[in-house]
Structures are given as structure tokens and as C-alpha cells.
Chains A and B, each alone.
Chain A
Amino acid sequence: MPMKLTLRVWRQAGPNADGAFREYQANDVSPDMSFLEMLDVVNEQLTAKGEVPIAFDHDCREGICGMCGLMINGSAHGPMPATTTCQLHMRSFADGETITIEPWRATAFPVLRDLCVDRSALDRIVQAGGFISVQTGNAPDGNALPVPKQDADAAMDAAACIGCGACVAACPNASASLFTAAKVAHLGFLPQGQPERYRRALKMVAQMDLEHFGGCTLFGECQEACPKEISIDTIGRMNKDYLTGMLFEPAENQKAAGAG
């Protein structure tokens, strides 16, 4: 049964241009299409009519790259929990529905065009401390470095972050706390991450603030929006690491920039 939808899409010609919502009719939408496939079809129709297609980010279309990210009807990545926009299907919507589609909105994520935003602020947070400074060499023997099962699981849960920015988009304060906390936690739970653990939290939090993200007020909206279901527990852990670093890390390790 093909669906008829009305799309209310944010159109913005460039970073400094004024944007506005424009309405489009999408007829003959298959409920089995993904959300991005639906936009592809709309774009083909726009191109055929000689109009500029809607710009949106996408890459892997299997929910692991973190490129796609749209505010759909007021929810980051749309109405399905634990789902990226590319994995959202049109059967999640009702025939005849009006769907509002917007870019992530944050000072730190300037709109490049239409639905595309610049998320390199997240990259700079990772550059500030989301690494371990070791010569990696060959792969070590299995179990040469024992990791408790619960720590391995916690690190893996945090490492599931794909950096899509949905936490920032959903947060009433446009805070990147969940993203930063996930990056702090996935290294901080592992033995290789210990030497730089507290410096890492200090540097990444400092960069997060520099990028003009807001602060955490524990509304909890980020973990509901997160397609990888990362818990706000990580934020408490980041704060604890930050506090420990502030109190006990020697002054020479507290310099904010530069690799450790």
C-alpha cells in the first residue's frame, strides 16, 4: 500500500543564508522504504522538475557510520528508539501524515546546507584527548592483559558511540556531554586507557566547552535519542574523572592542548 506524505523540510542555501521550511508532497511512498530512500525518491522528483535537491548527510546506510542524522517530527533520528535515520522505515509513519524534517540545531553544529550540519566540533573533542599514546606494534597475545568482564562490557557499550550528534540535537542545552562521556569512558574502562585517564577527561571537557556546547542538566533526553543506547551513567563517570583530574593530576599534566 503506497503512502502519501506531506514533508515540511528545512531549506537553507548556505551557512550564512536564512533558512525556512518548505512543503513537499511525497506520493507513492512504499512503507518498506527507509527514510533516506524516501528522501532519495523526493530528490529525484525535484531534480526532474529542475529544482535543487534536498541536501542531507548519509554514508553507510546500515546504522554504524554516524553520518545520517535528522530531526524528524521533533525527535532525533525519528520516532523509533535505538535507530539511526537510515534504519528508520516509512512504516513507522501513518499514511497522510505531515513529517517535519530539520537539521540538528546547535551553535557548535553550523548548518552547511539544508539538513547538513558541520559536526567537526565532535572531532576536535576526540583530538583533544580521545586516544591512548602508545606504540601499538603487533597485536598482543590474547589475555596477555586481563580485562574484567564487566569493564570490557562497559567499555564496549560506550565505544558503540558513532558520533552522530543526536545527543546534542536532543539536549535542551545542546550539550555534548553524552558524546564526550562515551569517548572518555570507552578508553577509561580499559587498562591501556589508565595512564591518561584523568588528563583525558580534563582536556576533552575543556574542548567541549570551547566548542560552545551547552552543559548537562540531566534531562535524560540524550540517552533516549542515542541510536546506540548509551547511558547517562557515562556522564557521571566523566564528571568523576574530571574531578579526580582537577584534584590530583600534577600541574604539568593539566595543560589543555596537545597530545599527552
Chain B
Amino acid sequence: MSVSTLPAAGVARPPAGRVRRFWDSSVGKKVVMAVTGIGGIAFVIAHMAGNLQMFTPTAPAQAMHTYAAGLRKLGPLLWIARGGLVAMVVLHVVAALQLTARNRAARPSAYGRKEHHTSTWGARSMRVGGVVLVGFIVFHILDMTLGVGHPQFVHLDPYNNLRLGFQRWWAVGLYVVAAGLLGLHLFHGAWASWRTLGLRRPSDRPLHRNIAIAIAVLVTLGFAAVPVAAALGVFAPDVVQEVAP
């Protein structure tokens, strides 16, 4: 095989800048997915911690209101954060779609018989779970942020928006399922992202994971707690006593 066969026959190699070459490479796109995924994990944990203020023992409606109003007070910072989150989701999804297309093209004809030896449910459900989660995020923002289709939405009264919103049995089911899918996504993603970036030290059991399991369980339980508690009637009627300035 002579060296003149480089690059592969029939494939033009256009001159490209560093960023372009990075984005076009399979490793580069995975790095983008890992970094945006880690950003997503940080957001999801913060969001979950915010939600859990629903369980404040005294004046929970006031606690949730103060929290929501506090976020609004960030002003331009809030919009920068929102823009960053949207950009992360877009990058994560576009990279995933492009990598999936490339991976499918890499094996056009399937095996007559193929056994899976180590791949987890988490790994194998990344694509379908990811698509469902994107759909859920769109629904969730319409439902609980903008109040579209919500039975009794009141701006800046998240306690009662959640309490009343989860009197719809199907919403409870949907949010709990989404929390489970998110946990499954992170069971693989929280582990794989660090490995993709080469940040894990070598291990005798490279497929073993502890922190990812902890994150997956924490996030699933943390997000499922509010709809389940609402369905069980844990949240008593309460009002916002003092509207935050």
C-alpha cells in the first residue's frame, strides 16, 4: 500500500480552519457533546435544587415566589443564561444528529446475528431518550414557564402553578417518566462525558461508574418528588404573602 493513497480515494479534503476541522471530526463533535452535556448536568442539578424548595415547611408559596422573583432580578444575566442554555441544547442535539447519521452510514448492512456484551440500557437508549427529552423540554417550558395550556397559571406563583398543574394525572405521569428518562440518559452521559474528555484516570474496570449512578438516582428522585408529592396531596393550599419587589 503506497502512501499516495492518502487521503482515501475520492474524498476531497478542503482546506479548513481549526474550528471547522474540530467540528467536522468525530472526536471534536463528541467533545462538544461532552462539554454541553456536563453544562446540562450542572443546570439540571441546580434546577432540581430550586424545585425542592416546594418542600419548605413554612410558607412554601412565599419561598418559591422569592426564588422565582430572585431569578428575574438577574435581568440581563438571566437572558445570557437562557441564551447559553439554548445554545448548549442546540449544539448537543445537532452534534448528536450528525454523529448518528455518520454512525448509521458506517454500518449500512446489519449482522444476521449480533450479541451485546457490555452495553447498558443507558447507552442503548441515548438516542431515543434524547429525542423524547427534547420534546419534553419544549412541552415543559410551554406548560410551567409560559403557562400555555396550564389550567390556572399565575406568573411568579410557581408553588401553586406546580400544585395545581399536577392535579392533572397525565402530567404527573409524563413528568415522572421524563425524570426516569433523564436519569437513564445521565447514567450513561455523566460517565461517558468525562471519559470522552479524557479526564478519567486509567482504571482496571473502565466501565465501572459510581458518580454517574449517584447523579442519575439523585436527579430522577429529585425531579419525580414534586409531581408525586403533588399527586399525593402533600402540598397544602398556600398564598404568596408578600410580592417581591
Do A and B associate with each other? yes
Chain A positions within 8 Å of B, measured between CB atoms, are 8, 10, 21, 71, 73-75, 100, 102, 105-108, 120-121, 123-124, 127-128, 154, 170, 172-175, 205-221, 223-225, 231-233, 235-243, 246, 251, 254, 256-259
| A223/B206 in contact, CB under 8 A | yes
The 7 closest A-B pairs by CB, nearest first: A240-B198, A214-B106, A215-B26, A173-B103, A74-B115, A214-B103, A219-B119
| Distance in angstroms between the alpha carbons of A6 and B210 in the assembled complex | 44
Task: Return the CB mask of B4-48 against A: 1 if under 8 Å, else 0.
Answer: 011110010100001001101111111100000000000000000
| A100/B119 in contact, CB under 8 A | no
| A242/B27 in contact, CB under 8 A | yes
Minimum distance in angstroms from B204 CB to a CB of chain A: 8
CB-CB under 8 A for A205 and B27, given A212-B105, A218-B123, A243-B198: yes
Minimum distance in angstroms from B37 CB to a CB of chain A: 12
- Taking a contact as CB atoms closer than 8 A, the residue among A21, A75, A216, A254 that contacts B30 in the complex is A216
Minimum distance in angstroms from A256 CB to a CB of chain B: 6
| A239/B31 in contact, CB under 8 A | yes
| A219/B123 in contact, CB under 8 A | yes
| A206/B102 in contact, CB under 8 A | no
Segment at the A interface, from B49-57, B82-90, B166-174, B189-197: B189-197
Q: Using Cβ atoms and an 8 Å threshold, which residues of chain A touch B106?
A: 106-108, 173-175, 212-214
| A236/B25 in contact, CB under 8 A | no
Minimum distance in angstroms from B41 CB to a CB of chain A: 16
| B103/A215 in contact, CB under 8 A | yes
Q: Using Cβ atoms and an 8 Å threshold, which residues of chain B touch A257?
A: 6-7, 13
CB-CB under 8 A for A243 and B31, given A175-B103, A214-B106: yes
CB-CB under 8 A for A205 and B26, given A75-B115, A102-B112, A218-B192: yes
Q: Using Cβ atoms and an 8 Å threshold, which residues of chain A touch B199?
A: 236, 240
Q: Using Cβ atoms and an 8 Å threshold, which residues of chain B touch A154?
A: 202
Q: Using Cβ atoms and an 8 Å threshold, which residues of chain A touch B108?
A: 107
| Distance in angstroms between the alpha carbons of A170 and B111 in the assembled complex | 10
| B126/A217 in contact, CB under 8 A | yes
| A221/B119 in contact, CB under 8 A | yes
| Distance in angstroms between the alpha carbons of A209 and B30 in the assembled complex | 13
| Distance in angstroms between the alpha carbons of A237 and B203 in the assembled complex | 12
Q: Using Cβ atoms and an 8 Å threshold, which residues of chain A touch B1?
A: 120, 123-124, 127
Residue from A208, A212, A220 with most neighbouring chain B CB atoms (10 Å): A220
Q: Using Cβ atoms and an 8 Å threshold, which residues of chain B touch A256?
A: 7, 13
Known pairs A121-B8, A232-B195; list 14 more (Cβ under 8 Å).
A71-B111, A124-B6, A172-B107, A207-B6, A212-B106, A214-B105, A214-B106, A219-B123, A220-B206, A233-B203, A239-B198, A240-B198, A257-B6, A257-B13
| A105/B6 in contact, CB under 8 A | no
Q: Using Cβ atoms and an 8 Å threshold, which residues of chain A touch B5?
A: 124, 127
Q: Using Cβ atoms and an 8 Å threshold, which residues of chain A touch B99?
A: 215, 217
Q: Which residue of A lies closest to B98 (CB)?
A: A215
Q: Using Cβ atoms and an 8 Å threshold, which residues of chain B touch A221?
A: 116-119
| Distance in angstroms between the alpha carbons of A128 and B1 in the assembled complex | 12
CB-CB under 8 A for A105 and B110, given A174-B103, A235-B195, A236-B196: yes
